[in-house]
Amino acid sequence: MGNYIATKLEIKNYLFARVPLIVIRTSERERVERMMREISEEMRINIFYYTDVKQVIALHSGNGVSKDVDRDPLSYAQELFRKNRGTTFVIGDVRRISDENAFSREILDSLYLAMETAGTMVLVTPDYVWSRLAQFGLLTVLDYPDEDERENQINKFIAQYNLKYPIEWDAEAIHKAAMLLRGFTEVQIDNILISMLVSNKGLANANLTDLTKQKSKLYAAVPCVEEVAVSADMDVSGLDNLKKWIKERKKLFFISDDILEDYGLTAPKGVLLVGIPGCGKSYSARLFASEWELPLFRFDIGSIYDKWMGESERKMRAALTFIDNMAPCVVWIDEIEKALSVSDSGNDTGKRVLGEFLYWLQESASRVFLVATANNISALPPELFRKGRFSEIFFIDLPTGEERRETIELYLYKCLRKHLTESELDILVEMSEGYSYSDIESVIKEAAQYRLIHQMKQLEFEEIKKYFENNISFANTNPETIKSIREWGQTRAVPASIRKHQ
Ligand SMILES: Nc1ncnc2c1ncn2[C@@H]1O[C@H](COP(=O)(O)OP(=O)(O)OP(=O)(O)O)[C@@H](O)[C@H]1O
Ligand SMILES: [Mg+2]
């Protein structure tokens, strides 16, 4: 049952019981107006609805009848209560009722009158209600539209406009849009859809990512969580196994809660990427966001730590609220071991802060996917590897010959617009044994810079080869590091690549 339907039922029950006061906590007064109109029809009762803009309208007699009460709804409400037993009077968007003041006291007087005449006053407010008022009645909260309601709203919107505009969104896109629009009011959702429709002259699947941009505008930023720009199509060579996992789990990540619950499953929560420097750990964090068309937030968990009492907790709460509001999204913690090494006079502050985050992630109902990366696994506490913490732990090794070939071809074309023959490529593949992906990228980029600086039409193979000759690979300078990461990765993690080193 949606929020709207559940809240409506609750209000109907309260009205039936003739409770003198019903407080509806929400900032969506338009939705309440519609709800009260429906209730008036379904229960066949008279309901008067006041807002500063429209003054008093009688919901039971269509839109027509309205009475200007000169911004003094309470005198008018009292008059109605006196005249007709069982009157229902709604005040939309009430403020100044959180404490005792002239206005809240006047409401109190009206409530005594309502009680005597079996009337009901309904207050629609986003604020807290002064305790003496609150004891007169019952409170209900109308939450923002839930996923089903958002999906319905989008479907209605499309039905309204699809004759005038080309709308590409299929059921899957609509479902995704409904997920992305979490945290918006009904009016905001309509505004976002209409502005996208008009500015793009239709709704294409590519517009889906615009929805997340709208969202980041809505919430105040927190310093330790920063949005990272991600390009829609990334060039990633090798890492077949990881790429396959990302593609497959995308489906699972976007399946609705009901279906997952039915089968006792949960959406994937995150991965840990461990591996050799320069082989695409940080790059793959972007790949998740790009493939899943979600915003990416880098979470600097180390900066949460603060030496002042209570400050770390406050920062963590602010960060989690922000992330929760941004969901669905990908959160990236780079070099997780560095955050863990933060310690305060022997206390494991870093570990505690991270533990808190992981616990939140596990318990949270919102779709947040964590990509954590690590180089130095010896610094990671064993509890991080407990089953269920991460959906998978991947090990990213140096590229194999085949993967180097792919990477060389990729960057040669991207930076030099150059194709080589198979035998020339064979030579570079052999020369680049022990190179990381980023070694290959930087060698070719150096060559490409040289070409631009000297305004050359194209570089010859021999010149490109020289750059490979002069490069010293990471594996060459750090054989011990490679050996230990490999030993760990091969026994404790799933390989990111299915290809084998010769
Ligand atoms: N599989 C890949 N395909 C194409 N380019 C890649 C790949 N992996 C890495 N690169 C390139 O190398 C650069 C460095 O990679 P990245 O920053 O992901 O390495 P890392 O594993 O995070 O290293 P570090 O441990 O040093 O942080 C990337 O920005 C990207 O340009
Ligand atoms: Mg990195």
Residue 19 one-letter amino acid: V
- CA–CA gap between residue 316 and residue 357 (Å, rounded): 8
- Please name the residue whose Cα sits nearest to atom 19 of ligand 1: 278
Residue 181 Cα, ligand 2 centroid: separation in angstroms?
31
Residue 428 Cα, ligand 2 centroid: separation in angstroms?
25
- Please name the residue whose Cα sits nearest to atom 28 of ligand 1: 283
Q: Work out which ligand 1 atom sits closest to the CA atom of 284.
A: 18
Q: Are 476 and 434 in contact (CB under 8 A)?
A: yes
Which residue matches tokens 């009016």? 187
Residue 440 Cα, ligand 1 centroid: separation in angstroms?
10
Residue 430 one-letter amino acid: E
Write phi, then psi, for 99 (nearest 5 degrees). Answer: -140, -175
**68's tokens:** 């200007």
Within 8 A by CB and 6+ apart from 244, the residues are none
The residues facing 415 across adjacent strands are: none
Residue pLDDT tens, the chain, 502 long: 458 999 999 999 999 999 999 999 998 888 999 999 999 999 999 999 999 888 898 888 765 567 888 888 999 999 999 999 999 999 998 888 989 999 999 999 999 999 999 999 999 998 889 999 999 999 998 988 988 999 999 999 999 999 999 999 999 899 989 988 988 889 989 988 998 899 889 999 888 878 877 777 777 778 899 999 888 889 999 999 999 999 999 999 988 888 888 999 889 999 999 999 999 999 999 999 999 988 899 999 888 877 676 788 888 888 998 898 888 899 999 998 887 766 555 566 777 777 888 888 888 888 999 999 998 777 777 777 777 788 999 999 999 999 999 999 999 999 999 999 999 999 999 999 999 999 999 999 999 999 999 998 888 999 999 999 998 888 888 888 888 888 888 888 899 998 777 6
Residue 285 Cα, ligand 2 centroid: separation in angstroms?
9
Q: Which residues line ligand 1 (CB under 6 A)?
A: 235-239, 277-283, 373, 375, 407, 437-438, 441
- CA–CA gap between residue 445 and residue 426 (Å, rounded): 20
Please report which ligand is nearest the Cα atom of 333: 2
8-state DSSP, 201: T
Q: Tell me, what's the pLDDT at 1? A: 47
Nearest to 175 by CA among 197, 195, 148: 148
- CA–CA gap between residue 287 and residue 267 (Å, rounded): 18
Helix (H) or strand (E) segment spanning residue 463? helix 461-470
Query: Three-state SS string across 51-118, please?
Result: ECCCEEEEHHHCCCCEECCCCCHHHHHHHHHHHCCCCEEEECCCCCCCCCCHHHHHHHHHHHHHHHCC
Q: Tell me, what's the pLDDT at 344? A: 55
Q: Tell me, what's the pLDDT at 12? A: 95
Which residue matches tokens 């107006």? 33
Cβ-based neighbour number of residue 127 at 10 Å: 14
**37's tokens:** 């109109």
Cis omega (within 30 of 0) on the bond before 328?
yes
Within 8 A by CB and 6+ apart from 10, the residues are 140
* Three-state secondary-structure class, residue 270: strand
Nearest to 353 by CA among 369, 345, 341, 367: 341
Q: Tell me, what's the pLDDT at 152? A: 95
